[in-house]
C-alpha cells in the first residue's frame, strides 16, 4: 500500500501553522483524536522534534498502519484504541494531566473509503458494514433490517438531510420484505429505483443515505457532542484545538462548543464582568475556514472541509 498516494492530509500546513505556537516548546503533547493512517501526526513529529503525539482511533486497521508508519519516532508516538470521546481517559492513560494541542480530522478516512470491503462507498459493491471499529457494534445491514420505516426516515432526514427520506424508507421496507438487503449495490438499486429521474440528474441519489447510515452506525454526532467538551477540558492554558469538519451536522456541533467556550458566562444585567465569568477560550479564525482552491483541485476530499480553531486563555479558578 502506497500510503502517501492514497492519503493526503487535508489543510496540513494550516493545521501546523495554527497549532505550532502551542506545541513548539519542550515537553509539549498533542492529541491527534482521529489518527487514521497518521498523515497529520507524521508531519507534526517531523516538524517538532520535542513533541509527543497521542494518537486515538477506533479503527484497528488504521492503528496498525499508523504504528508501522510512525515507528521511527519511537515513544514520541503513542497509540490508543478508543473512540475520541474517550480523550480524557486516553491522556491520563499515557501519564499526562493536560495537553498543549488537540486535532480532530472528522469524517470517514481515506482507508475506510478506499477499502471496498468496509462498505462505506456507494460506488463499490461490498457487504453493508460501515463500522469504523469493525470489532463491535451494529452493521449498516443490521440497521436496514431492524429499524422501522419511521426510524429509517428519521435517520435519513436527521443525519443525511435527505429530502426524499420518507420515500427511501418506504422503498427499503418494501424491498426487505422480499429479500434481505445486505450489500451496498442492493441498497443503491433500491434507492435509485425510488428516485425521480429529475433528482437523479442532480447527483448520486445514494450519497446522503450512505452518509446517514454511517453516522447512525458509528454514533458520530453523539460521540462528537461528548468529545468536544472533553477535549477542551484537557487543554492547558496557551494550548490550542483545531477541528476539521466535512459536513454541516458536524460543523454545527463544533461551532456551538467553541462558541460557548469563548463566550462570557456573566448573567445578563451585571454591571461588570467578574474574572470567573470571562471566556476560557478565544477563537483563532473568523467563522469556518475553507481549503484553498489549489488544495481543493489537488485533493478532492478537501472540498467540503470547514476548519475551526481556538486557544485556551484561562482555566477556571
Kindly report, residue by residue over 87-145, the tens digit of the pLDDT: 999 999 999 999 999 999 997 766 556 566 666 778 888 999 999 887 888 999 999 99
Q: Is residue 238 part of a domain?
A: yes
**Which domain CATH number covers 38?**
3.40.50.150
Instruction: Identify whether residues 90 and 10 lie together within a single domain.
Output: yes
| Residue finishing a domain among 164, 197, 218 | 218
Asked whether residue 100 falls in the same domain as residue 132, the answer is no
Q: Which domain-ending residue is among 171, 193, 218?
A: 218
The model's pTM: 0.89
- Domain-embedded: residue 165: yes
CB 191 within 8 A of CB 156: no
Residues tagged in the binding site annotation: 38-40, 57, 84, 105, 112
| The C-alpha cell that represents 136 in the structure block | 463491535
Whether residue 126 sits in one domain with residue 225: no
Q: How far is CA 205 from CA 92, 106, 160, 189, 243, in A?
A: 44, 23, 11, 10, 29
Domain that holds residue 187: 116-218
Please give the pLDDT value at position 267.
Answer: 72
pLDDT of residue 110: 60
Q: Are residues 86 and 224 in the same domain?
A: yes
In CATH, what number is assigned to the domain containing residue 200?
1.10.150.170
Q: What is the pLDDT at residue 214? A: 92
Instruction: Among 218, 240, 267, give the residue marking a domain's end.
Output: 218
Cα–Cα distance for residue pair 24/46, rounded to 1 Å:
12
Binding residue positions for S-adenosyl-L-methionine: 38-40, 57, 84, 105, 112
Q: Looking at the structure, do residues 205 and 127 belong to the same domain, yes or no?
A: yes
Per-residue pLDDT, 136: 81
pLDDT tens digit string along 174-194?
999 999 999 999 999 999 999
List, for the chain, all residue ranges whose pLDDT scores fall below the cut of 50.
Answer: none
Per the document, the length of the chain is 317
Q: Do the bridges between strand 306-312 and strand 281-283 make them parallel or antiparallel, or are there none, so unpaired?
A: antiparallel
Confirm whether 317 is domain-assigned: no
235, β-bridge pairs: 99
Q: How many domains does the chain have?
A: 2
Amino acid at each position: 500500500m502506497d500510503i502517501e498516494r492514497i492519503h493526503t492530509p487535508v489543510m496540513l500546513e494550516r493545521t501546523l501553522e495554527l497549532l505550532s505556537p502551542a506545541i513548539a516548546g519542550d515537553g509539549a503533547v498533542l492529541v491527534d483524536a482521529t489518527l487514521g493512517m497518521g498523515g497529520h501526526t507524521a508531519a507534526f513529529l517531523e516538524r517538532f522534534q520535542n513533541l509527543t503525539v497521542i494518537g486515538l482511533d477506533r479503527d484497528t486497521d488504521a492503528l496498525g498502519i499508523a504504528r508501522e508508519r510512525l515507528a521511527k519516532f519511537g515513544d514520541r508516538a503513542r497509540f490508543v484504541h478508543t473512540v475520541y470521546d474517550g480523550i480524557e481517559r486516553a491522556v491520563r492513560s499515557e501519564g499526562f494531566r493536560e495537553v498543549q494541542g488537540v486535532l480532530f480530522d472528522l469524517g470517514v478516512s481515506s482507508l475506510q473509503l478506499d477499502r471496498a470491503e468496509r462498505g462505506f462507498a456507494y460506488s463499490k459493491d461490498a457487504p453493508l458494514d460501515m463500522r469504523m471499529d469493525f470489532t463491535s457494534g451494529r452493521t449498516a445491514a443490521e440497521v436496514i433490517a431492524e429499524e422501522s420505516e419511521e426510524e429509517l426516515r428519521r435517520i435519513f432526514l436527521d443525519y443525511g438531510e435527505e429530502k426524499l427520506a420518507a420515500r427511501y424508507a418506504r422503498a427499503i421496507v418494501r424491498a426487505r420484505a422480499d429479500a434481505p438487503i445486505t450489500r451496498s449495490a442492493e441498497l443503491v438499486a433500491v434507492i435509485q429505483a425510488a428516485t425521480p429521474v429529475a433528482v437523479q440528474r442532480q447527483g448520486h441519489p445514494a450519497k446522503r443515505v450512505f452518509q446517514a447510515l454511517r453516522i447512525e452506525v458509528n454514533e458520530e454526532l453523539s460521540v462528537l457532542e461528548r468529545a468536544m467538551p472533553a477535549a477542551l477540558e484537557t487543554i492547558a492554558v496557551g494550548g490550542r484545538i483545531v477541528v476539521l469538519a466535512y459536513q454541516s451536522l458536524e460543523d454545527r456541533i463544533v461551532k456551538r462548543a467553541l462558541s460557548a467556550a469563548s463566550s462570557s458566562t456573566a448573567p445578563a444585567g451585571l454591571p461588570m464582568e467578574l474574572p470567573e465569568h470571562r471566556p476560557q477560550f478565544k477563537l483563532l479564525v473568523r467563522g469556518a475556514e475553507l481549503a484553498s482552491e489549489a488544495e481543493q483541485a489537488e485533493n478532492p476530499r478537501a472540498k467540503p472541509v470547514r476548519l475551526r480553531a481556538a486557544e485556551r486563555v484561562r482555566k477556571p479558578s
